[in-house]
Structure 1
């Protein structure tokens, strides 16, 4: 008698080959999707960066409506050593128009940023509008220029501080000098002190202390200079007001125009600064590189390493002559101002004088790039 065998059932599951095929397919899908995800994230970060710059643009135009001019790049303060240091600057002037009146009203902020930082922890406050989410040096960052290696600021609460980061810089144009382009008709801030020998110097406009800076080199924000919309004769839709100024380890500094070596004195200094900081580096801090709230187009967008912002003496070593020199480095001047730089791939965001924000390619023609940074050069700007 033959036995009847029932049907054989195969256990459910994957063979090794099938499992490897599935893993390979998943890997391919992830590889296809990852760039799309990264692109979407970068698009979101760029949108946030754009919105931040538009907030600065709205604040600038509201300021202009009230005071009939944009804020000065900075209000200089003469010191006994011959330099013109920064008392306050455009970011601080704009705070009330960015719903940050309390920050401007904090003790000392509107009189002397350095004293305010040294006597409080105000420099550690994060100004959200100043933070680009693509930049890696935020929301706070150390600033070597004002840390242990430089002119150290001691805050009562925390000792050596990290500053609330600033990822945007005001456009000085193509002129990278740190002399004061100042006219009595433009100056309304109380308490401005002239140098001991502060007679009007050379220049076609009566009252200029150090100039004037040629219109073909002058940006919307310079030392001691107010600009009115009517003076932006190149067109507000063709003129930079601000550009990105990222920092962190990806953006080390180097000394002077056309510099290429990021190693300075055996160390690297990052292109970090804070929204409170307006001061460039100078020869009182020879071993530290620094940058600040200004950028210019003397050098290309995203130049690496970043040129430092440096207030130099003249070739004769005088501490007074350098304050009267508006000569850019292209014409033999010894000062330097940092180039604009961005963590966004391929270029950077710029705020225009009309309040619009535009992405500018890092491969932009330098003639167009420089022309776009000046308010009255008479250039015809195309291709921006």
Structure 2
């Protein structure tokens, strides 16, 4: 086409080659931008997770200010079958210090978490401080151990075996034993008296089997044990109080220490838990795997698949639950490892209330030493 001056006119626009080049450049820019956006989102989630852990650390300190000790890891209840059931545990004790006093008034919640879950909807009540936004299981998650495949707990209003998630775990130390220093036989014995701190008074119990738990293994939260600041002789800034405990399909469970097979009885059981759940799995539920609100450093941070929390009852339940040996020393029990959805490691709240990110490649000796309250070790770094 010619204009009036006799010169050829050209339409403005892109050629096909130019268009393809522009599309390719945009694709490259988007490819560079998306990881940055995802990284920024993860940084925000990690900050929220850290804030939640700080809130939990503050709740622990406020509890200690009132009761002159940290909450008991779990408060056991001796039953006629010889089993020491978990009556209540540390997370329930912290409810008033997490602005959840009304929930602690729910019938049975302080004496029978299982009964409270069956008779109310407290098991489905989400605790914001218990939720890490990076974790994939939550805020409500199914827990096979207490669902259709295992025991049965149903909220009365909905009839769904689903629990408000718990993405953090109280540190038991290195020990993965589920031992107590008194049982029903002690309760029935003459002179058995519980002191004000919840422990049997001196001389009123028969003593551990293969125990007590060595100081080099004991953490801040164990069965029937309340720890005071004065007992954390390794230093509050060197001692784990709680760590992350992610769940969901990315974190399947396996049975027992050093386990590597994420398939159990032909199924995968995610390491889901609920803040109300105190009980580990046991031989009464042989077909499912489970975990609870406790973790230990027997195995490395972010071990995959996650070791289950399991109480081996054996033929003599009373004896098994008095066996304080960790799995490293011949014990038959296991406690889940800490795990986190944050890349490269996980966060822990220390006994002094601070929060630190710990690399998953941390030296195992340092990692284990950091989880005990009175091992006498020198912790130089995390």
CA contact (8 A) 1:82 1:319 kept: yes
Measure, in 1, the Cα distance between the counterparts of 2:92 and 2:154: 21
Aligned to 1:374: 372
CA contact (8 A) 2:193 2:204 kept: no
Measure, in 1, the Cα distance between the counterparts of 2:369 and 2:195: 24
Cα separation, partners in 2 of 1:127 and 1:8, compared to 1, 3 Å: same
CA apart distance, 1:324: 1.2
CA contact (8 A) 2:194 2:200 kept: no
Aligned to 1:200: 205
Aligned to 1:206: none
Cα separation, partners in 2 of 1:81 and 1:210, compared to 1, 3 Å: farther
Measure, in 2, the Cα distance between the counterparts of 1:162 and 1:243: 23
CA contact (8 A) 2:313 2:320 kept: yes
Report matched runs for 1:260-271 at 5 Å: 260-271=260-271
Measure, in 1, the Cα distance between the counterparts of 2:325 and 2:267: 30
**How many residue pairs are counted as aligned between the two chains?**
370
CA apart distance, 1:193: 11
Aligned to 1:146: 146
SS, match of residue 159 in structure 1: coil
Measure, in 2, the Cα distance between the counterparts of 1:313 and 1:331: 17
Report matched runs for 1:270-285 at 5 Å: 270-285=270-285
CA contact (8 A) 1:187 1:225 kept: no
CA contact (8 A) 2:148 2:161 kept: no
Cα separation, partners in 2 of 1:65 and 1:210, compared to 1, 3 Å: farther
Report matched runs for 1:116-135 at 5 Å: 116-135=116-135
Aligned to 1:136: 136
Render the CA deviation track for 1:174-227: whole Å, top value 9, x for unaligned: 0000011469676545xx999xxx962346xxxxx9842111000000011000
Measure, in 2, the Cα distance between the counterparts of 1:162 and 1:4: 80
Render the CA deviation track for 1:289-316: whole Å, top value 9, x for unaligned: 11000000000000111000001025xx
Aligned to 2:188: none
Aligned to 1:78: 78
2:333 is equivalent to residue 335 of structure 1: yes
Measure, in 2, the Cα distance between the counterparts of 1:251 and 1:187: 40
CA contact (8 A) 1:124 1:161 kept: no
Between stretches 4-13 and 253-262, larger displacement belongs to 4-13
Aligned to 1:30: 30
Cα separation, partners in 2 of 1:313 and 1:234, compared to 1, 3 Å: same
Measure, in 2, the Cα distance between the counterparts of 1:156 and 1:313: 31
Structure 2 residue ranges without an equivalent (≥5): 183-191
CA apart distance, 1:81: 1.8
Aligned to 2:224: 224
Aligned to 1:177: 177
Q: How much is the aligned-residue C-alpha RMSD, in angstroms? A: 2.1
Deviation above 4 Å: which 4+ runs of structure 1?
181-187
Report matched runs for 1:49-64 at 5 Å: 49-64=49-64
Measure, in 1, the Cα distance between the counterparts of 2:265 and 2:341: 26
Render the CA deviation track for 1:85-142: whole Å, top value 9, x for unaligned: 1111100100101111111112221121100110111101111110001100011100
SS, match of residue 358 in structure 2: strand
CA apart distance, 1:148: 0.4
SS, match of residue 369 in structure 1: helix
